[in-house]
Amino acid sequence: MSKLYIVGVGPGSDEYLTFKAQKIADSVEVLVGSKRALQLFPDSKAEKLELDSKNMGNSFKQAIIRVEKGKSVAILSTGDPGFSGILKPVLNLSSSVQVEVIPGISSIQLCASKLQISWDEVNLITLHGKGDSLELLELLDSGKPTMILPDFNVKETAKFLVDKGIDPDKEVAICEKLSYPDEKIVKLTLKDVLNDDFSYMCVMVIF
């Protein structure tokens, strides 16, 4: 039976793939995902459609068309599809097909484990696709650590906060490239973030 699977594939390393995600990827006829998500399944015989930021909407539509034609399709979401993932945009397009969501291990979970903090006791916010938000300032007033998925650039987020009057000496943790061989976890201050360089693959925690 044709079905559209939305599959969380973890933060990047195949060590954090679930058995369920692997099983689905091995069974479907079409895999849709970013280059790094598709690289997790090098032995897959499925047709592969590569996503990038410029073609995401069209690729989702192509995935749905293939399901409507009777094929089984998995759209791969790095991390978990339900938090800053592809679940919402895909569901907005897929009312005509059967959908199953497979959760995955998120960079948020991995960050919390690396820093040994309970992530049910932090504020969570994603800035992906939103840019820096005044909502973030409200969260910082709560007294809890705030865990952020920045909008690609932690330096821009740090500058936004300092410009809005947040103490530049406030303690910050940056968890970069989680699960990859060159993973890096550093604790520093907001002003230090302004003078360092990080990749777009980061989780930021403000204490």
Of 79, 102, 125, the one marking the end of a domain is 102
Same domain, 116 and 168: yes
Same domain, 82 and 153: no
Same domain, 78 and 112: no
Residue 150 structure tokens: 């920045």
pLDDT score of 1 more than 70: no
* pLDDT score, position 145: 93
84-97: average pLDDT: 82
Of 102, 120, 145, the one marking the end of a domain is 102
154-172: average pLDDT: 93
Same domain, 121 and 60: no
Same domain, 112 and 98: no
Enumerate residues 6+ apart whose C-beta is below 8 A from 146: 122, 123, 125, 136, 139, 140, 205, 206
Range(s) of the domain holding residue 165? 107-206
Other CB atoms closer than 10 Å to residue 173's CB: what's the count? 19
Name the residue with higher pLDDT: 91 or 8. 8
* pLDDT score, position 14: 93
Which uninterrupted H or E stretch holds 25?
helix 19-27
Count the domains in the chain: 2
Same domain, 87 and 11: yes
Cα separations in angstroms, 70 against 25, 91, 103: 17, 18, 24
Same domain, 137 and 84: no
Same domain, 126 and 200: yes
Other CB atoms closer than 10 Å to residue 125's CB: what's the count? 18
pLDDT band at residue 132 under the 50/70/90 scheme: low
pLDDT band at residue 33 under the 50/70/90 scheme: very high
The alpha carbon of residue 86 and the mean position of all alpha carbons in its chain are separated, in whole angstroms, by 9
Residue 207 structure tokens: 């204490």
Closest by CA to 125, choosing from 115, 113, 134, is 134
Of 36, 69, 102, the one marking the end of a domain is 102
